[in-house]
Structure 1
Amino acid sequence: MDACAHCPRWIFALLLALFSTAAAAHASISPQQWRADVAAIRSGIAQTHPDVGFSVDPQQLDRKLDELATSVRSPIDRDQAWRRLATLNPLLADAHFCVCFDDWRAEAAALASRGGGLFPFEVQVDDSGQIVVRATVAGRATPLAGARIVAIDGRPARRIAADLLARMHGDTPAFRAALLSRRFGFYFWKMYGQRAQFDVDIDIERAGRQRLRVAAARPASAPRFDDEFGLTLLPGNTAVLRVNTFAWPEKQQVLDFTAASFRRLGQAAVHTLIIDIRANGGGNDDQWLDGLMPYLADKPFRFASGYRKKIIEKYRDAGETPGAVVDGPIDRWIAPQSGDPLFFRGQTYVLVGRGTYSSAILFSNVLQDFAFATIAGSGGLARAQQSGGVQNLALAHTGLVLAVPRFILRRPSGALAPALLTPDLPLADDPLRPQAVIDALLQTIEAQP
């Protein structure tokens, strides 16, 4: 099929989306409309979430919603609405449960289409509020890497971090800091407004404090397949398989890649495999169930042991009552495919980190609970028991979205502890030196008898 035949339709759709995004950002929201959206948040949670107490004290949530409902007395725009509503997010303490923008990448693209830009550096924020330069906004190396940001446009960096962390979603303070690190430029814009340039005070080791005036930069473009997936063969019959997402839009492309990768592992006689999912925020379970497990599982397994779900009309089975909360076991066991000629029979390690979440945690749980692999890296940021089935409920007046899960899964072993994703082999992961943890893992493997 000739893809160009669809170009006019796609161009029109893109322009419409960009125009709609820009228009919505400046729409005026009255106090009455604001209260209606706060009420919609309350009802959306009640109608969808199976157990709010999984991540938040229900009474604290009610008090916060009451406070928000009366907090607007004059018209505001959408970004101002986000600044208020997003203060719910740390309280909700679940990255699947938040008030957010429908598509932050589309928001950034709309800004770029108007000639705007974002803060020009990728940064690392820790939960104490320190902000350090990591790379340029396009991910390129910079001599400023490692420099501590002291202030931006005269605003102290720790104040900026506190303002933004108070609006981030995620399971733990450390997770929220990691999320902010990945989207700093976007959230800085939404918090403080658009800038053409920035005055940045930085503290450089051995050079002291300096002030730089830097222009805003175009947002990074959408990642390509090779940015998200890769196989590296290393000396000593070792390999690293990088899988940064389970949400790639073309599943068959993922399946073709993993099949080709495991074929190469066999051809190269690899006996130690490291699967790097440190940057994998999840996606669709079938991408790892069909793309990785056939080559790793040597006995029957299940992806979880039980569930709690809220029955909603969209997913109601025969005999189920909308609004009911149902608990049940997961009895579907998946047979291994160890007879596959591409099946990997060596040692497998899975490297987890700050960006590992959602379906990637389910994948890690399966490999850990059934001893298909050793989990290595840094943990303690996200829950091992994951919520899911996220419903994005549009808030009619603010133009924002309430994301709320409709089920909670218990890990395959049924264990409730440890509560957070915990590696079998803990290893420190320096965000400024991403290769270092791989080198440390390789050294640990080599030192084993």
Structure 2
Amino acid sequence: MKLKLALIAALFVQVAFAQKNCNVLYSQKFTKQQLEEDIDFIRTKITNAHVNPYTEISKSEFEKKYTDIRNSLKDGMTQKDFYYLAKPLIVTLNDEHSSMSDFCVTDSIRKNMKVLPLKFKYENGKMLLTENYSDRKLTIGDEVLSLNNIPIDQVLENCAQTIPGTIEERIPIAVDKFWIVINKYCYFITDDYNLKFKSGLQTVVKSISLEQLKANASKSQPKKKEDFKPIDYKKIKDYAYVTVNTFDDRNTFTLEEWKTKFDSIFSQIKKDNAQKLVIDVRNNSGGNSAVGSLLINYFSDKTYHTYQGKFKKSKEYADYLKANNKESAEYNKIKDGDYYPISSRSVTADHNPLRFNGKTYVIVGKNTFSSAMMFSVMVLDNKLAEVAGEIPEKGHPNHFGELIKFQTPNTKLDFLFGVKEWIRPAGNLQPNKLIPAKIISVKDKTSEQIVEEL
């Protein structure tokens, strides 16, 4: 079974997101006054700039949580101590885009870090084994019942409290990242893991180094992973199959370069005389929603309605816009704390000689996220094409977005969250999920297999 990229890359993502000079910060001790300044800073930025910080807990509950944290601060605490106290303020935002950067560790600790050499998935309320890189003989698919004699449900509930995002997704995320969560963010087990499975097996799995984990994983999957392709096209039978793996317009292509790419591909589609079109965004984690809107114009001539929502006015975000040459006079007129409404627009298709006019499918999957989800939802709600595939594991059609980032002045912890709230064209539908019109299995399927399914 393939080792997901997250398994060997998550730690390095955290390191990349971490602060500089960690060797110094790890052991630095802060005064109570410094820590109070930092927790006050976090509270102020959330209440000033987050579009709606009280969706999971009420304003009074939020204030109580902040007060309890502030009262827990003491002289001599480290950045790590403060991190675990402060993070719940970020977690309870119920914002799938929110996060707080990792606390610092020294080079020595990072080099000698040990992890649980197992991978799990959360399915129908059960924690199931999916990958085994230990020296123990375990059965893939076996359900975990307990860890070190603690019921696994209790373990997951506690670990989920350290996971930012929407409340219903925290346990699945904790399970997916259990190999690193269990030793670094909750319970802090770094040696032996006494696991009891539903099959009746009870065994001790020993932790291993991250380097050993990577070595064990590479032995079981010698096949080299293909290079990431932002966009790809091939003809399969009478289908034009276009895979779009990102909508990024910063590090991949500019918006103008995306247009050039689309022009080239849809010119080839015309030459190939394809009768049907597939747009595959099952592994697209998003980027700029403008890329998705641009793509729509290549397969639909229908007038459609966009997302609606609201935009929190704050001095913080006004300053951010000004610093990035995006200042808006209309936004600046609004009183701090009030909301700038985002009205749903009616978009009329431009003339596009390269537009495909046949049957079109948009394929979504468990990894469709953020602006790729917004693209798929607009297609679905406006009936611009047939949306097929699987319900995404993370993210919601109605969500927070447009991130703003801050850093605590003393402990140097980065945190970010959304200043906009987005509502899908069809409104506040429940459940708040992207549910394809046609459910088909797409996980690990080739494009040829998906065409057969269609």
- TM-score normalised by length of structure 1: 0.73
Rounded to whole Å, the distance in 1 between the matches of 2:165 and 2:46 is 17
- 1:114 — aligned with what? 111
Of residues 415, 419, 422 in structure 2, which corresponds to 1:402?
415
1:109 & 1:149 partners in 2: Cα distance? Answer: 33
> 1:230 deviation in Å?
5.7
CA gap 1:29/1:146 in 2 versus in 1, 3 angstroms: farther
| Residue 320 (structure 2) pairs with residue 325 (structure 1) | no
Return the alpha-carbon distance in structure 2 between the equivalents of residues 338 and 136 of structure 1: 55
Give, in whole Å, the separation in 1 of the partners of 2:372 and 2:150.
37
Is 1:47 paired with 2:52?
A: no
SS in 2 for 1:251: coil
- Structure 1 residue identity aligned to 2:396: R
The answer on whether the counterparts of 1:381 and 1:420 sit within 8 Å (CA) in structure 2 is no
| Corresponding residue of 1:57 | 58
Do 1:273 and 1:347's aligned partners in 2 also have CA atoms closer than 8 Å? yes
Counterpart of 1:364 (choices 376, 385, 393) is: 376
Q: Deviations over 1:409-445 (max 9, x none)?
A: 33235x222361332426376xxx8236989976763
Matches within 5 A, 1:267-278: 268-278=272-282
Deviation of the 1:44 alpha carbon: 0.6
1:169-318 maps to which residues of 2 (within 5 A)? Answer: 169-173=164-168, 175-192=169-186, 199=193, 201=195, 203=197, 208-213=201-206, 215-218=208-211, 226-227=227-228, 229=230, 231=232, 236-238=237-239, 241-247=242-248, 249-252=251-254, 258=262, 261-263=265-267, 265-266=269-270, 268-290=272-294, 292-301=295-304, 303-312=306-315, 313-314=318-319, 315=321, 317-318=328-329
* 1:85-121 Cα shifts (integer Å, max 9, x gaps): 33345532121344x116x9xx799789735454444
Equivalent residue runs for 1:148-167 within 5 Å:
148-149=143-144, 157-167=152-162
Seen in structure 2, the aligned counterparts of structure 1 residues 336 and 122 have a Cα distance that, compared at 3 Å, is farther
1:285 maps to a residue whose letter is S
Pair 1:281–1:16, CA change in 2 (3 A): closer
Query: 1:116-175, CA deviations, whole angstroms, 9 ceiling, x for partnerless residues?
Result: 4544444323584625334779xxxx99643444566776644442222122122241x2
Aligned residue in 2 for 1:125: 122
Is the Cα contact below 8 Å between 1:275 and 1:349 reproduced in 2? yes
3-state secondary structure, aligned to 2:37: helix
8 Å CA contact retained: 1:171, 1:383: no
Q: Indicate the SS of the match to 2:210.
A: coil
Cα distance in structure 2, aligned partners of 1:86 and 1:15: 19
Which residue of 374, 398, 401 corresponds with 2:386?
A: 374
Question: How much does 1:67 deviate?
Answer: 2.0
Deviation (angstroms), 1:58: 2.0
**Alpha-carbon separation, structure 2, partners of 1:255 and 1:135:** 44
* 8 Å CA contact 1:88, 1:167 repeated in 2: no
What SS does the corresponding residue of 1:125 show, helix, strand or coil? strand
Query: Would you say the 8 A contact 1:131–1:157 is kept in 2?
Result: no
Aligned to 1:9: none
Identity of aligned residues (%): 16
Q: Secondary structure at the match of 1:133?
A: strand
Q: Which amino acid aligns with 1:293?
A: I
Deviations 1:212-238, CA, capped at 9 Å, x for gaps: 435232498xx9993364647585534
SS of 1:412 mapped into structure 2: coil
Residue type of the partner of 2:42? Answer: I
> Is the 8 Å Cα contact of residues 303 and 347 (structure 2) preserved in structure 1?
yes
- 8 Å CA contact retained: 2:115, 2:207: no
Which residues of structure 1 form unaligned runs of 5+? 1-13
For residue 324 of structure 2, what is the aligned residue in structure 1?
none
Residues 16 and 311 from structure 1, CA distance in 2 versus in 1: closer, same or farther, beyond 3 angstroms?
A: closer
Taking a change above 3 Å as real, the CA distance of residues 398 and 240 of structure 1, as seen in their structure-2 partners, is: farther
Cα distance in structure 1, aligned partners of 2:17 and 2:376: 40
Other-structure match for 2:399? 386
Residue by residue, what CA displacement relative to the aligned partner does 1:268-293 show, whole Å, maximum 9, x if unpaired? Answer: 55444444434433322233334x23
